């Protein structure tokens, strides 16, 4: 599977039934936050704001989703060792 962007990759995973729709939407929000605020700097970075967003919006959930996805891919032999 190959996609041009992270968002398209998430959409492809959702389309193939690898991740749930609600998890896909959550991951896309995380990617957009990362891209728009942290990487491209469309806004000045306020470290305290970033910390609050991470703490209050449950971004730790992203790690759970990724771990679950990795486990599924390992079980299906779709992950490089």
pLDDT tens per residue across all 81 residues of the chain: 566 888 898 899 899 888 899 999 988 888 887 777 666 555 566 777 777 777 776 677 777 887 888 888 788 876 665
Residue 6 near residue 30, CB atoms below 8 Å: no
Residue with tokens 């449950």: 58
The gap from C-alpha 81 to its chain's centroid, in whole angstroms, comes to 21
Sign of CA dihedral 3, 53, 38, 70: negative
pLDDT of residue 38: 63
pLDDT of residue 35: 76
pLDDT of residue 18: 87
Give the predicted TM-score (pTM) of the model: 0.58
Q: Using alpha carbons, list the distances in angstroms from residue 4 to 1, 9, 31, 72.
A: 10, 7, 14, 23
């Amino acid at each position: 599977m190959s996609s041009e962007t992270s968002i398209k990759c998430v959409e492809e995973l959702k389309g193939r039934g690898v991740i749930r729709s609600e998890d896909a939407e959550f991951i896309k929000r995380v990617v957009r936050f990362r891209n728009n605020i942290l990487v491209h700097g469309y806004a000045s970075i306020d470290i305290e704001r970033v910390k609050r967003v991470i703490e209050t919006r449950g971004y730790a959930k992203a790690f759970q989703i990724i771990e679950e996805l990795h486990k599924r891919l390992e079980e299906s032999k779709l992950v490089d060792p």
